[in-house]
Amino acid sequence: MKKVLLIGGVGAGKSTFRQRLTAAPIEYAKTQALELFGQVVDSPGEYWERRRFWQALQMTSCDVDVVALLLDPTTTARIPAGFASGLSCPVIGVVTKSTLATPQQVETARVRLSQEGIEQVLVVDSISGDGFEAVREVLCPD
């Protein structure tokens, strides 16, 4: 499996995505620091939301194969322009909570990610497991 760094705002669904991906029990736990779980690096939403923490994310991106930017389609939090330029590896987009969002909200989230230059966007629901076949194809090739 590729090594992946999960980034995105508070509550975007990074830790739940990580739990589904690593087949861990799905339970809420606040992420307080950069945390390594096998091939998955989880990060606190505050690191994404506050620019002074970006350097930590940028440095960590040197050690992974891919960065996944997670976006909750039921919120409208802004994606800061240019964030991807400081990252050292490819970035994919992940739209989470697909079963809570309307199709229109999912589409809007997809468009917002592609407007930031993110070409590959996956749509998932980490509680139900919807969309994880495609996630595994991308993160666990062969």
Ligand X SMILES: Nc1nc2c(ncn2[C@@H]2O[C@H](COP(=O)(O)OP(=O)(O)O)[C@@H](O)[C@H]2O)c(=O)[nH]1
Minimum Å gap between C-beta 95 and ligand X is 9
- Contacting range for Mg ion; rule: CB under 5 A; set: 24-32, 100-108, 113-121, 127-135: 24-32
Find the residue with minimal CB distance to ligand X. Answer: 13
**3-class SS of residue 134:** helix
Contact status: 96 vs ligand X (CB under 6 A) = yes
Interface residue with Mg ion, options 3, 31, 34, 138 (CB under 5 A): 31
Q: How far apart are CA 102 and CA 92, in angstroms?
A: 22
User: Is residue 66 a contact residue for ligand X (CB under 6 A)?
Assistant: no
Q: State the Cα–Cα distance between residues 55 and 12, nearest whole angstrom.
A: 20
User: Quick one: CA dihedral 54, 94, 6, 65, positive or negative?
Assistant: negative
Query: CA 61 to CA 104: how far, in whole Å?
Result: 31
Letters for 2-21 (x = contact with ligand X by CB under 6 A, - = none) are ------x-xxxxxxx-----
Within 13 Å of residue 115, how many CA atoms lie on the same side as its CB? Answer: 10
**Residues of the shown chain interacting with ligand X in the complex, contacts defined by CB under 6 A:** 8, 10-16, 28, 31, 45, 96-97, 99-100, 125-127
